[in-house]
């Protein structure tokens, strides 16, 4: 691990450091691999060519415990004789700004790089070129680069470093480097996909700032990435400044919600017409970009580059309602924008952190839309690495705070539960038992921490986020919703114990299985005694309380479950079919209604257009999921600019219900070896199609509905089977094998029946029901 020897002002962002070395290659090399990682984010070049199109490598992990490295095949770039390697390292997550306190240098204050080139020769021997103090360090045209703040580039400095990563360059004026200590046990290969630019968007409109006349481009889509300037035409020493924002206010960029994240890039001209320029080591959340210093810039001069972890898309949904299609598309865009190596809360303001609760809510949707299994596998390894000795979880993973920092709680319900829910959902959706095996002690450790912190009763003293952002909560107190945070915590404790019990069975931990099953029984009982009155009604009469009770099966018997469903439907109707739930109730409410026979109420809630509702933002022109139901008020004001984002996936978790209930496709067994096909049309929908690419191949369900007839075409992939329950009069549930199947019959929705799932599956009776009827 090497670092430059120069001194730096640690209080401000720095020009990225350019490290270079030259070496002579033996003549008989058959394979050349470059392994690299950095304290900061890096790009690597070999003989003047980029070694990959990955951005923001090595990504963000629990740096104090895990530092990922990448492997680049550079065989085609190697030449006989003299070669050169150049690696540029920017501040990145390692020592750039992180969090809302405008602080930097969380992990360290020196940029550093570790690289090893392995040249395999014809006789199998390996020749190694590695970072050592013979490498030289310099700086180039990037004068400053920070993830939150943006990047500044001075094209006048290009000439000085032209050819710097080739063997023709003279680095006589460059500085020496020195070795830094590194614990090699931290090193681990990257398993998730790299961040890449995956799409380019052209502006859809061009306006001008009323105050300054600067050009403002609208890309028609809130996205995450950066702008490319195609041949920026600026004089020598003149600077083009690009600012980015998600919304406009009075025709100007509304930057208040960004808080201290400046999201500003600068390009200073050298007099020559530059080729395309784009910042390298930063990313912004924006729909609008304002360009000053380039008055004639036209739509043809710019493009927005969409950047995120380059996961394979595996899930699609569409239906006859264009508003629902846009809602679905918004969730897809919010996932793209918030899976930039780490699954984050939001991608624009001074946060962009791996908030556990947000992912806990969105994981089932994420696992349907994109193949995020390896990314989550890596993130869960970080989560386990960040876990406290007593099993508690920090609010955010990775956790940049110093080791002695303590969060208000390390067992916040619905947030810390990501330790249990995310591996479980990932297992159910992708079928990798190995992941459960790897995570089991982290899952059980978190549950143990909850049990210890709560004691035999539920502990009201523990800090909780509660049903965060319930619309009834005051804007400045998002945890102050209608649902008692202790009720939420108790419900999650039971849910967590149920999952760990099921996971223990799957990974063969028989003793743990019995122990955690006993805890689940105990806390169900405690929860009921505390939150259900003698007459069977809820002490806390909120929609979230009922949704949790139904989905987490807290109530004991079918009649109590049915009664809770009736009350939930009443509460939803009394609220005018508007949303009355927050981060934790919202992902469950449609399932709770559907499971208890109130499908039309679920549809009425989903199709509501007045605020708060899922479709209100869509009608306001949203192109991503918002943090608050009313991030933009009906009069077009930005609601509470101190905490509002226009790109927060958590409340988009309803798309998972859309896939499973409208589309009718759920896994009936881990990894879709068997699936449940049960479309439940409602509202005024006349058709829907859902497709999912599983490890076995594509499953699809396409249905259409006329006044009286329901028709469907199904595709079931090889080596799988489906339990099929169709809304057709007289339909008997059948199990179908692979192939194409079509059915047509008289439309009739019958009350849901427990579905006969194949025997021999891992599930206990209760889990089979929850698997087929609730959010899994
Ligand atoms: C984040 C959330 C997060 C919450 C926790 C916010 O600032 O953006 O999405 O879960 O804090 O309270």
- The per-residue pLDDT for range 415-426, each reduced to its tens digit, is 999 999 999 999
Please give the helix or strand (H or E) that residue 630 lies within, else none. Answer: none
HEC readout, 665-698: EEECCHHHCEEEECCCCCCCCCEEEEEEEECCEE
Best substitution site from 101, 337, 345, 624 to test ligand 1's pocket, by max atoms within 8 Å of Cβ?
Answer: 345
Predicted confidence (pLDDT) per residue in 31-55, tens digit: 999 999 999 999 999 999 999 999 9
Distance 716 CA to ligand 1 centre (A): 39
Dihedral of CA 483/485/487/493: which sign? positive
C-alpha to C-alpha distance for 720 and 722, rounded to whole angstroms: 7
| DSSP secondary structure code for residue 172 in this structure | T
Would you say 547 and 467 are in contact if contact means Cβ atoms under 8 Å apart? no
Instruction: For the chain, give the percent of residues with pLDDT over 70.
Output: 97
* Cβ of residue 346 lying under 6 Å from some atom of ligand 1: yes
* Cβ of residue 351 lying under 6 Å from some atom of ligand 1: yes
* Cβ of residue 357 lying under 6 Å from some atom of ligand 1: yes
Predicted confidence (pLDDT) per residue in 244-262, tens digit: 999 999 999 999 999 999 9
pLDDT score recorded for residue 764: 34
Rank 7-21, 263-277, 457-471, 632-646 by mean pLDDT and report only the highest.
457-471
- Which atom of ligand 1 is found nearest the CA of 645? 8
Two tokens, residue 535:
């007459």
Distance 474 CA to ligand 1 centre (A): 15
Two tokens, residue 298:
């036209």
C-alpha to C-alpha distance for 189 and 707, rounded to whole angstroms: 56
C-alpha to C-alpha distance for 776 and 762, rounded to whole angstroms: 15
Query: Does position 274 have pLDDT exceeding 80, yes or no?
Result: no
Query: Does position 308 have pLDDT exceeding 70, yes or no?
Result: yes
Predicted confidence (pLDDT) per residue in 577-620, tens digit: 999 999 999 999 999 999 899 999 999 999 999 999 999 999 99
- Which atom of ligand 1 is found nearest the CA of 357? 10
Mean pLDDT, the chain, rounded, equals 94
Distance 158 CA to ligand 1 centre (A): 41
Distance 200 CA to ligand 1 centre (A): 30
**Whose CA is closest to 278, among 267, 292, 262, 290?**
267
Which range has the worst mean pLDDT, 432-436, 611-615, 669-673?
669-673
Would you say 395 and 355 are in contact if contact means Cβ atoms under 8 Å apart? yes
Residue 495 bridge partners (DSSP): none
Distance 355 CA to ligand 1 centre (A): 6
With cut-offs at 50, 70 and 90, classify the pLDDT of residue 640.
confident
pLDDT score recorded for residue 760: 31
Query: Does position 391 have pLDDT exceeding 80, yes or no?
Result: yes
- Which atom of ligand 1 is found nearest the CA of 355? 10
* Cβ of residue 467 lying under 6 Å from some atom of ligand 1: no
Nearest CA to ligand 1 atom 9: 345
Distance 385 CA to ligand 1 centre (A): 21
Predicted confidence (pLDDT) per residue in 474-495, tens digit: 888 989 999 999 999 999 999 9
* Cβ of residue 584 lying under 6 Å from some atom of ligand 1: no
Tell me how crowded residue 127 is: count the other CB atoms within 10 A of its CB. 16
* Cβ of residue 468 lying under 6 Å from some atom of ligand 1: yes
Would you say 571 and 559 are in contact if contact means Cβ atoms under 8 Å apart? no
Best substitution site from 100, 257, 357 to test ligand 1's pocket, by max atoms within 8 Å of Cβ?
Answer: 357
Best substitution site from 397, 465, 466, 468 to test ligand 1's pocket, by max atoms within 8 Å of Cβ?
Answer: 468
Two tokens, residue 456:
């035999």
Best substitution site from 351, 393, 475 to test ligand 1's pocket, by max atoms within 8 Å of Cβ?
Answer: 351
Nearest CA to ligand 1 atom 6: 345
With cut-offs at 50, 70 and 90, classify the pLDDT of residue 761.
very low
Instruction: Report the residue count for the chain.
Output: 776
Query: Does position 768 have pLDDT exceeding 50, yes or no?
Result: no
* Cβ of residue 358 lying under 6 Å from some atom of ligand 1: yes
- Which atom of ligand 1 is found nearest the CA of 345? 9
HEC readout, 95-136: HCCECCCCECCCCCCCCEEEEEEEEEECCCCEEEEECCCCCE
- Which atom of ligand 1 is found nearest the CA of 478? 12
- The torsion angles phi and psi of 452, rounded to 5 degrees, stand at -65, -45
With cut-offs at 50, 70 and 90, classify the pLDDT of residue 641.
confident
pLDDT score recorded for residue 622: 97
Distance 443 CA to ligand 1 centre (A): 22
Is 246 a known active-site residue?
no
**Whose CA is closest to 29, among 60, 82, 87, 75?**
75
C-alpha to C-alpha distance for 363 and 485, rounded to whole angstroms: 22
pLDDT score recorded for residue 766: 36
Active-site residue, from 252, 351, 505, 767: 351
Would you say 530 and 459 are in contact if contact means Cβ atoms under 8 Å apart? no
- Which atom of ligand 1 is found nearest the CA of 627? 9
- Which atom of ligand 1 is found nearest the CA of 100? 7
Distance 148 CA to ligand 1 centre (A): 17
Query: Does position 642 have pLDDT exceeding 90, yes or no?
Result: no
* Cβ of residue 392 lying under 6 Å from some atom of ligand 1: no
Longest Cα separation, the chain: 86
Would you say 272 and 233 are in contact if contact means Cβ atoms under 8 Å apart? no
Distance 561 CA to ligand 1 centre (A): 31
Is 199 a known active-site residue?
no
pLDDT score recorded for residue 35: 98
* Cβ of residue 321 lying under 6 Å from some atom of ligand 1: no
pLDDT score recorded for residue 668: 86
Nearest CA to ligand 1 atom 12: 465
Best substitution site from 355, 399, 407, 587 to test ligand 1's pocket, by max atoms within 8 Å of Cβ?
Answer: 355
- Which atom of ligand 1 is found nearest the CA of 356? 10
Would you say 242 and 251 are in contact if contact means Cβ atoms under 8 Å apart? no
Nearest CA to ligand 1 atom 8: 345
Distance 549 CA to ligand 1 centre (A): 24
**Whose CA is closest to 291, among 281, 282, 304?**
304
Nearest CA to ligand 1 atom 1: 345
Dihedral of CA 419/420/421/424: which sign? positive
Best substitution site from 358, 359, 413, 642 to test ligand 1's pocket, by max atoms within 8 Å of Cβ?
Answer: 358
- Which atom of ligand 1 is found nearest the CA of 648? 9
pLDDT score recorded for residue 639: 87
Residues 6+ apart with CB under 8 A from 124: none
With cut-offs at 50, 70 and 90, classify the pLDDT of residue 767.
very low
Active-site residue, from 45, 252, 627, 767: 627
- Between 215 and 769, the more confident residue is 215
- The torsion angles phi and psi of 80, rounded to 5 degrees, stand at -70, 140
Query: Does position 683 have pLDDT exceeding 80, yes or no?
Result: yes
Would you say 98 and 6 are in contact if contact means Cβ atoms under 8 Å apart? no
Dihedral of CA 319/321/326/328: which sign? negative
Would you say 462 and 411 are in contact if contact means Cβ atoms under 8 Å apart? yes
Peptide bond just before 612 cis, omega within 30 deg:
yes
C-alpha to C-alpha distance for 520 and 501, rounded to whole angstroms: 8
- Between 317 and 640, the more confident residue is 317
Query: Does position 203 have pLDDT exceeding 50, yes or no?
Result: yes
pLDDT score recorded for residue 752: 64
C-alpha pair distances (Å), 602 with each of 407, 458, 586: 37, 31, 11
Three-class DSSP category at 175: strand
With cut-offs at 50, 70 and 90, classify the pLDDT of residue 707.
confident
C-alpha to C-alpha distance for 551 and 585, rounded to whole angstroms: 10
Which range has the worst mean pLDDT, 295-309, 355-369, 745-759?
745-759
Query: Does position 459 have pLDDT exceeding 90, yes or no?
Result: yes
Distance 345 CA to ligand 1 centre (A): 6
Distance 358 CA to ligand 1 centre (A): 7
* Cβ of residue 649 lying under 6 Å from some atom of ligand 1: no
C-alpha to C-alpha distance for 55 and 37, rounded to whole angstroms: 13
Query: Does position 773 have pLDDT exceeding 80, yes or no?
Result: no
Distance 234 CA to ligand 1 centre (A): 41
Specify the residue for token string 């190995």. Answer: 434
- The torsion angles phi and psi of 671, rounded to 5 degrees, stand at 75, 15
Mean pLDDT calculated for residue range 196-219: 97
pLDDT score recorded for residue 13: 83
* Cβ of residue 466 lying under 6 Å from some atom of ligand 1: no
């Amino acid at each position: 691990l090497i670092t430059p020897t120069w001194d730096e002002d640690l209080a401000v962002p720095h020009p990225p450091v350019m490290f270079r070395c030259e070496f002579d290659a033996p003549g008989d090399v058959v394979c050349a691999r470059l392994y690299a990682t950095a304290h900061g984010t890096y790009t690597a070049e070999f003989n003047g060519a980029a070694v990959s199109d990955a951005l923001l490598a090595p990504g963000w992990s629990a740096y104090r415990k895990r530092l990922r490295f990448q492997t680049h095949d550079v065989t085609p770039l190697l030449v006989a004789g003299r070669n050169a390697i150049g690696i540029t390292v920017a501040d990145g997550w390692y020592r750039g700004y992180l969090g809302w306190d405008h602080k930097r240098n969380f992990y360290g204050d020196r940029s550093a790089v570790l690289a090893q080139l392995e040249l395999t020769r014809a006789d199998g021997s390996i020749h190694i070129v590695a970072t050592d103090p013979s490498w030289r360090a310099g700086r180039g045209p990037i004068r400053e680069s920070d993830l939150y703040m943006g990047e500044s580039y001075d094209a006048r400095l290009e000439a000085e470093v032209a050819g710097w990563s080739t063997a023709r360059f003279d680095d006589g004026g460059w500085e020496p480097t020195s070795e830094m200590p590194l614990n090699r046990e931290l090193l681990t290969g990257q398993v998730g996909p790299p961040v890449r630019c995956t799409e380019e968007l052209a502006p859809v409109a061009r306006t001008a700032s009323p105050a300054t006349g600067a050009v403002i481009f609208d890309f028609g889509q809130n996205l995450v990435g950066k702008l490319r300037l195609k041949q920026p035409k600026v004089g020598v020493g003149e600077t083009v400044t690009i600012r980015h924002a998600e919304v406009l206010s009075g025709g100007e960029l509304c930057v208040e919600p960004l808080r201290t994240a400046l999201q500003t890039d600068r390009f200073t001209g050298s007099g020559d017409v530059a080729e395309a320029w784009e910042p390298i080591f930063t990313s912004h959340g924006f729909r609008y970009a304002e360009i000053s210093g380039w008055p004639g810039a036209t739509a043809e001069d710019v493009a927005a580059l969409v950047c995120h972890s380059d996961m394979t898309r595996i899930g699609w949904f569409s239906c006859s309602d264009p508003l629902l299609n846009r809602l679905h598309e918004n969730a897809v865009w919010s996932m793209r924008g918030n899976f930039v190596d780490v699954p984050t809360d939001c991608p624009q303001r001074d946060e962009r952190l791996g908030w556990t609760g947000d992912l806990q809510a969105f994981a089932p949707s994420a696992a349907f839309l994109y193949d995020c299994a390896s990314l989550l596998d890596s993130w869960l390894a970080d989560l386990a690495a960040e876990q406290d000795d007593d099993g508690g979880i920090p609010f955010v993973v990775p956790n940049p705070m110093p080791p002695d920092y303590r969060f208000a709680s390390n067992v916040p319900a619905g947030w810390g539960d990501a330790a249990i829910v995310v591996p479980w959902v990932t297992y159910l959706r992708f079928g990798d038992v190995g992941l459960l095996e790897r995570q089991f002690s982290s899952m059980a450790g978190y549950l143990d921490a909850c049990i210890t912190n709560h004691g035999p009763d539920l502990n009201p003293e523990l800090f909780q986020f509660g049903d965060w952002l319930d619309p009834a909560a005051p804007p400045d107190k998002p945890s102050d919703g209608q649902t008692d945070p202790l009720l939420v915590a108790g419900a999650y404790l039971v849910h967590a114990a149920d999952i760990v019990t099921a996971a223990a069975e799957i990974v063969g931990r028989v003793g743990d299985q019995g122990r955690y099953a006993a805890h689940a029984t105990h806390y169900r009982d405690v929860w009921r005694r505390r939150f259900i009155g003698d007459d069977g009604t809820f002490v806390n009469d909120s929609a979230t309380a009922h949704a949790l009770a139904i989905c987490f099966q807290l109530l004991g018997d079918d009649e109590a479950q049915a009664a809770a469903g009736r009350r939930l439907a009443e509460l939803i109707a009394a609220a005018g079919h508007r949303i009355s739930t927050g981060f934790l109730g919202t992902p469950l409410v449609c399932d709770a209604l559907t499971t208890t026979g109130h499908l039309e109420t679920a549809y009425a809630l989903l199709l509501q257009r007045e605020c708060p509702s899922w479709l209100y933002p869509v009608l306001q022109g949203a192109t991503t999921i918002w943090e608050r139901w009313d991030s933009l008020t009906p009069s077009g004001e930005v609601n509470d600019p101190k905490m509002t984002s226009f790109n927060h996936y958590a409340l988009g978790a309803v798309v998972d219900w859309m896939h499973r209930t409208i589309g009718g496709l759920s896994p009936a067994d881990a990894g879709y070896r068997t699936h449940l096909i049960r479309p439940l049309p409602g509202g005024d929908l006349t058709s829907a199609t859902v497709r999912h690419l599983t490890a076995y191949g594509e499953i699809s369900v396409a249905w259409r509905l006329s006044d009286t007839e329901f028709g469907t075409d199904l595709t079931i992939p090889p080596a799988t089977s489906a339990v099929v329950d169709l809304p057709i009069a007289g339909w008997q549930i059948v199990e179908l094998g692979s192939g194409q199947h079509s059915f047509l019959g008289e439309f009739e929705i019958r009350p849901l029946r427990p579905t006969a799932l194949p025997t021999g599956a891992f599930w206990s009776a209760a889990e089979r029901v929850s698997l087929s009827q609730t959010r899994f």
